[in-house]
Amino acid sequence: MSERWLLIEIGNTHAKFAVGSDGRIGRRRVRVPTGTLNAATLELASARFRFDRAILCSVVPRASRHVHRSFGAALLEVSASCDLGFSLAGYRQTKTIGADRLANLAGALAAGVKLPLVAVDAGTATTFDVLDRALCFRGGVIAPGPEMFTDYLHTCAAQLPMVNVNPRRPPPVLGQSTGAAIAAAAVHGFRGMAREILGEIRTTLGVSNLNIVLAGGAADWIDPAPADALMRDPDLTLRGMLAIAHRNG
């Protein structure tokens, strides 16, 4: 029987736990607010699973320290020093690449996305990362997530309200209230930003269409061109973590 890996994905907002083996991820998920992660919450979350080893993918170093103390030598952490299944040879500062971005690219390959590909993860930040036909990481873009469009205005402007926006029902571009005007900027502005970034990636790669995999809680906000080949994978990061675990275990 193959090793069962506890997958620990720590994002800016939540930490997610699952178990994977033989290329498959179990259905059970445990989510913990990242700010509450400590030895006790780690123990409670991991007790929900049976596993042999653990792999960590984190973008929050202070939370990572709790995981390292709890798991010690039994822990593998996603980093540029791992065997990822693709090359970082053309990237100057490999140690600065976020572990989530590396896992997303590994997940895209594991999901069978054709090359060249773009892995887009829309969360607190929205990342666009590119693998070319030679399996080489070409770099990427890190942009604000959709909530930053509304949260920042509310935080920094005394009279602007907090606005909740449903991207599946985009508002008119000309808002008839302050809240509607903010919502219009959030939806149309974010979609326009993403569309422009993807367009520039097409130009840089010299292709007419892209193979895109979308992940993250704000994936519905991304609106690729009709010619692009699109896959949605809410488990993209976890899938990449499991692929990296198998390559390095």
Amino acid at 43: E
- 3 state SS for 207-247: CCCCEEEEECCCHHHCCCCCCCEEEECCCHHHHHHHHHHHH
Query: Active-site residue among 22, 100, 220, 235?
Result: 100
SS3 90: coil
Q: Please provide residue 98's backbone torsions phi and psi, each rounded to the nearest 5 degrees.
A: -60, 140
User: Which of 111, 115, 68 lies closest to 211 in space, CA to CA?
Assistant: 115
C-alpha–C-alpha distance, residues 63 and 41, integer Å:
11
Instruction: Please indicate whether residue 100 is annotated as part of the active site.
Output: yes
Q: CB-hemisphere CA count at 13 Å for 174?
A: 0
Which active-site residues does the annotation give?
A: 100
